[in-house]
Structure 1
Amino acid sequence: MKPLKYRTANVDDIDNLVSLINQAYRTNTGSSWTSEHSIVSGDRINHQQLLDSLSQQNFSLFVAEMVKNLESALVACIGLTFQQNAVAIGTFCVNSHWQNKGIGKQVLAYAEQKAFAICPTLINYEMFVLDARTELIQYYERYGYSKTACVESYPIHANVGQPLIDLKLQHMTKSVIKEM
């Protein structure tokens, strides 16, 4: 597999990112191994929500592109929201046609390294995962994340889709390992 090229997302990416995020989270196509299509209906994000996120001072969204013959294709994205000595990882997705190829693993590792480079005082990486997505929770556990006792209600008020089943957000955390 060709290496991924990473860069910070900008407003010119919004339409493509909205399509990528909604496709990755809410459809089950390509080589998709996990999705929310059977547990949440509606869009995961819209143009205005992404524009608002990109304007936040403590938020950065990174895109991963596959470069082939001087053409680049957006294949993944991941967001970092900095909060004191922690960073929340979210808006993480891989185009379903590019899943099961090790891209998610590469993108997550990149995000963790980038977060530490931006904020060397980080203590924890954090994320929230839908509790019904046990395969995704297990995936993050393989990469050092652990479930915490913190479980929150699904954010219906955030306009990120309507749950089709009873859903909660499971908090997960991973300690930042500082190299000596």
Structure 2
Amino acid sequence: MSTAESPTLSFRNAVEADVPELVVLIESAYRGEASRGGWTTEADFLDGRRTDEEGVRRVIETPDSTLLVVERDGALVACCQLEHRGDHVYFGMFAVRPGLQGGGLGKEVLAEAERRAREEWDAKEMRMTVVNVREELIAYYVRRGYRRTGEMSPFPYGDERFGIPLRPDLAFELLVKSL
């Protein structure tokens, strides 16, 4: 479905009142049985929570950071974090409602996030970290111009704010795209 054929998307910065609904969206895209309705699930290798109200609130309140809310016909359908870090913008907390995944919505959100990083912060790069065992997700980003760096950072085993690992080989890989 092309953008011209899809109902109009609107983008805005999250506010405090959005926090509970954003937590539900993010959890549904990554964890538990609901996440299996989409292809971004982490339920096979991470249990527990993906985020909570405090974590979402922290992203909203951090200087040089925004949590971008994406709505279609007034309904929350996606979100992503953008955080200005010097010459680059960090992209994270990307979630698309599971029943809407695979239809091009994520590609539209990613393109808008990249546009904002360039135009609002004059960023030269977009960076993100992806759990290393997420080959299908990494391939999705590679198709959109992101480069695998091979640079790994350890998964925070024992810190349940990031989930409860179901396997011992998790790490985060840094992906980068020139803007």
TM-score, normalised relative to structure 2: 0.91
Q: State the distance in 2 between where 1:154 and 1:78 align.
A: 21
The Cα shift of 1:28 comes to: 4.9
Residue in structure 2 matching 1:47, options 42, 53, 62: 53
Asked whether the equivalents of residues 31 and 98 of structure 1 are also in contact (C-alpha less than 8 Å), the reply is no
Match of 1:134, as an amino acid?
A: E
**2: distance between equivalents of 1:14 and 1:7?**
14
Give me the CA root mean square deviation. Answer: 1.3
Task: Provide the secondary structure at the position in 1 that maps to 2:26.
Answer: helix
Query: Percent identity over the alignment?
Result: 35
Q: Secondary structure of 1:132's match? A: coil
Q: Aligned pair count?
A: 171
Gaps of 5+ in 1: none
Aligned to 1:152: 153
**Structure 1 residue 27 displacement after superposition:** 3.5
Trace 1:117-136 onto structure 2 (pairs within 5 A).
Answer: 117-120=119-122, 122-136=123-137
Gaps of 5+ in 2: 1-5
Instruction: Provide the rounded CA distance (Å) in 2 between the counterparts of 1:48 and 1:34.
Output: 23
What is aligned with 2:24?
Answer: 19
Q: Which residue of 2 aligns with 1:100?
A: 102
Q: Does 1:137 align with 2:142?
A: no
Give the Cα–Cα distance (whole angstroms) in 2 for the partners of residues 65 and 27 of structure 1.
23
The secondary structure found in structure 1 opposite 2:162 is coil
Say if 2:48 and 2:160, in contact at 8 Å, map to a contact too: no
**Secondary structure in 2 matching 1:159:** helix
Within 2, Cα distance between the matches of 1:140 and 1:89? Answer: 12
* Contact 2:59/2:81, CA 8 A, preserved across alignment: no
Aligned to 2:3: none
Shift, 1:34, TM fit: 2.5
The residue type equivalent to 2:7 in the other structure is: K
Structure-2 separation of matches of 1:134 and 1:61: 25
Match of 2:42, SS state, is coil
1:169 aligns with 2:172: yes
Give the conservation status (yes or no) of the 8 Å contact 2:118–2:124: no
- Give the alignment's TM-score, normalised by structure 1: 0.91
Q: Distance in 2 between matches of 1:5 and 1:28?
A: 28
